[in-house]
Each structure stands twice: as C-alpha cells, then as structure tokens.
C-alpha cells in the first residue's frame, strides 16, 4: 500500500515523481518517519514563520489589496504566456 507523499495527498505516495521525497531523495525512496522533517527541531524555521505571520498581519491591517496584487501578477504572467505562444 502506498503512503501519502509529503507534498500533498494525491494518492501516488512513494510512486509520486513530483513529490518532495523524490526531489530530495533518490527515486524509490521509502517514506518513513526518519525522512519527515520536524519543524520543532529547527527554532530558526519557527522564528521565521512567526515573523512572516507578523509581517502578513501588518500588511493586511494596512489595507493590502490582494485582488490588485493578484491582478498585477496575472497581467505579468499573461505577457509571458503571450511571448511563448
């Protein structure tokens, strides 16, 4: 039986060629507890996540317009798509 991959639960588990385990480890990796990262062992990661959350909170409280940002990115992506079409 296949285990879920670490990137998402798409049902392919260890046979998923797009998941993080196959990106980090060799093909045929067996997903086990010893390869699953434990964030609580990395205080710098936790601190960075807290800081990112704080920054996001400040940005949202300051009136960040998510739709404007998404529209801007969409325009830039469409220029790129048109260039390769």
Using alpha carbons, list the distances in angstroms from residue 9 to 2, 51, 68, 80. Answer: 11, 28, 31, 31
- Spans of all domains in the chain: 1-36, 39-84
Q: Which two tokens stand for residue 83?
A: 């260039």
Each residue's pLDDT tens digit, 44-70: 999 999 999 999 999 889 998 989 999
The H-or-E segment that residue 81 falls in is helix 66-84
CB 46 within 8 A of CB 39: yes
- In whole angstroms, what is the distance from residue 6 CA to residue 83 CA? 34
pLDDT in tens, 31-45: 787 877 788 888 999
- Assigned token pair, 8: 């998402």
pTM, two decimals, is: 0.44
């Amino acid at each position: 039986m296949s285990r879920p991959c670490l990137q998402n639960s798409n049902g392919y588990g260890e046979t998923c060629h797009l998941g993080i385990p196959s990106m980090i480890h060799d093909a045929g990796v067996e997903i086990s507890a010893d390869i699953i990262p434990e964030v609580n062992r990395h205080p710098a990661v936790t601190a960075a996540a807290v800081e990112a959350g704080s920054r996001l909170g400040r940005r949202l409280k300051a009136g960040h317009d998510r739709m404007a940002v998404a529209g801007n990115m969409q325009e830039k992506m469409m220029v790129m798509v048109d260039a390769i079409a």
